[in-house]
Amino acid sequence: MKVPVLLGALIALLIGGLAIAGLLAALASRSPIVPVAPTPTVAPGEFGLYTPPPTPSPPPTPSPTLPPRPGATIEIGTELGQRAPALILPHLAGGTIDSREVTDRPLWINFMATWCPPCRDELPMMQGYQLRLDEQIEIILVDVAEDPDDVLNFMLEIGVDLPVALDEDAAAQREWGAFALPVHFFIDEQGIVREVVFGGAPREIYVEAIVTLLPEVDPADIDPDAGE
């Protein structure tokens, strides 16, 4: 009775061994798994790696500049190229001096005072230029903040006969910025300031300023002694 039992156990062992052998053969036939190394992350430009240059942005398109319009407004002032303020003041001889009435020739406006030493020297010179140029230029003197009688006596003393405007409250002096007396403004027929000369300048500087307003005039005809 024990022979069949032993035979069954042997058969079971044989079947189990065959199953284990088949499993081992299947495992041996599979390709081995090779671990993949992680790819290092490198910032651009590190370790000498080439970094492509940034793409330049296109330059901005400039806005078109319109040419100045004919008759464009010119700023009022006493700097070169500005339109001189209107000068409306009492005349020493009576009445009013109004620079706006002089439209056919250039203006030479001189802010002065009787106590000013350069004025005493320059006023006779200016009268000489006026006589030589006749009506080609208009000279106006502006006395700043003095008594009219004192101004009249001064003009008679130095023998100068030029129109004198009385800036009794120095308002024109402030508007024109004429604080370093004497100061001379040379203004063309359009009312534009072309030259500014401060007192005490050589005679040829005044001649050059006049020629700026009257380019057709020969400097020798204005003052043959200038520069000597």
- Distance, in Å, from the CA atom of 26 to the CA atom of 19, rounded to the nearest integer, reads 11
- Residue 171 in tokens: 């308002």
Number of domain units in the chain: 1
pLDDT at residue 34, rounded to an integer: 47
**Residue-level pLDDT, tens digit, the chain, 228 residues:** 444 545 455 555 555 555 555 555 554 555 454 445 454 444 444 434 444 555 555 555 544 444 444 556 899 999 999 999 999 999 999 999 999 999 999 999 999 999 999 999 999 999 999 999 999 999 999 999 999 999 999 999 999 999 999 999 999 999 999 999 999 999 999 999 999 999 999 999 999 999 999 999 999 999 877 766
pLDDT of residue 73: 82
Residue type, 44: P
Instruction: Give me the helices (H) in 30-170, please.
Output: 117-133, 148-158
pLDDT at 71: 53
Residue 52 lies in a domain: no
Domain annotation covers residue 103:
yes
- Residue 167 falls inside a structural domain: yes
Intra-chain end-to-end CA distance of the chain, in Å: 162
From the CB of residue 158, how many other CB atoms can be counted at a distance below 10 Å?
Answer: 14
CA distance linking residue 197 with residue 213, whole number of Å: 14
Tokens in use for 158?
Answer: 């130095």
- Domain membership of residue 65 (yes or no) is no
Give the CATH number, domain containing residue 174. 3.40.30.10
Within a domain: residue 107?
yes
Please report whether residue 44 resides in a domain. no
Asked if the structure places residue 112 within a domain, the reply is yes
Give the C-alpha separation, 56 to 58, whole Å. 6
> Domain range for residue 139?
90-222
Distance CA 225, CA 73 (A): 41
Using one digit for the tens of pLDDT, what is the confidence trace for 27-50? Answer: 455 545 444 545 444 444 443 444
Q: What local confidence, expressed as pLDDT, does residue 224 receive?
A: 76
pTM: 0.69
108: in domain: yes
